[in-house]
Amino acid sequence: MPRAGLAPATVIEAGAALADEVGFANLSMGLLAERLGVRTPSLYKHVDSLDALRRGIAVHAAREFRDAVGRAAVGKSGAEAVRAFADAHRRWALDHPGRYAATVRAPAAGDEEHNRVNNDVMRLVYDVLADFEEPGAHAVDAARALRTALHGFAALEIAGGFGLPRDIDRSYRFLVDTIIAGLQQGRSEETGSEPSPSRQFHQNDSR
């Protein structure tokens, strides 16, 4: 029999915690069953498959990530908002490496819940960049550049990819400063003037 009180939500939460320890790619139903103190077949009463477990963790993690970076950027604008977003992004990724890996998972076709959470995250990115890029093609370019840079640094840091005797925090600040300088330059060239930090970021409350 499954352990008393076991439910889909608790299985997903336990799976997310386990993924942080062993890696999202190494997660298995057997390992999770052992962690929960039940037999592996008992888990299938709560999640249909390993893929369903991974999908549940991906949605759960995306919500946590959205809320963490959203709180960090509330009330900030311009370069300050980008730095707050970037710092929260890195901190959350390092604290939750398995969950962070899960957030990279693309939603399946027709998965409205997963798509909705992912869209919430993207709205946060666009809001953070609102003072640098007008809506349209340049906004997409800026969002892609920011996400790619931050993700690449976080992925390398999680994997232990920085071996040179140089402070990693210093390198991260250099990365973020370079991104901001590029955004400011792009905005200046697009409008012919310096960007004015007039718009404040507001956290998206949709669930």
Mind spelling out the 3-state secondary structure of the chain?
Answer: CCCCCCCHHHHHHHHHHHHHHHCHHHCCHHHHHHHHCCCHHHHCCCCCCHHHHHHHHHHHHHHHHHHHHHHHHCCCCHHHHHHHHHHHHHHHHHHCHHHHHHHCCCCCCCCHHHHHHHHHHHHHHHHHCCCCCCCCHHHHHHHHHHHHHHHHHHHHHHCCCCCCCCCHHHHHHHHHHHHHHHHHHHHHHHHCCCCCCCCCCCCCCCC
Across the range 48-56, mean pLDDT stands at 95
- Please tell me the predicted confidence (pLDDT) of residue 140: 87
Residue 61 near residue 96 (C-beta atoms within 8 A): yes
- Please tell me the predicted confidence (pLDDT) of residue 191: 53
pLDDT per residue as tens digits for the range 98-130: 999 999 988 999 999 999 999 999 999 999 999
Classify residue 37 as left (phi > 0), alpha (psi -120 to 50) or beta.
left
Domain range summary for the chain, segments of one domain joined by + = 8-102+110-191
Going by pLDDT thresholds of 50, 70 and 90, the confidence category of residue 198 is very low
pLDDT per residue as tens digits for the range 74-102: 999 999 999 999 999 999 999 999 999 99
Residue carrying structure tokens 């997310």: 16
Specify the long-range contacts of residues 41-44, CB closer than 8 Å, at least 24 apart: 42/1, 42/2, 42/3, 42/6, 43/2, 43/11
What is the C-alpha to C-alpha distance for residues 173 and 26, in angstroms, rounded to an integer?
A: 32
CATH architecture type of domain 8-102+110-191: Orthogonal Bundle (1.10)
Going by pLDDT thresholds of 50, 70 and 90, the confidence category of residue 139 is confident
Closest C-alpha to 4, from 27, 31, 26, 36: 36
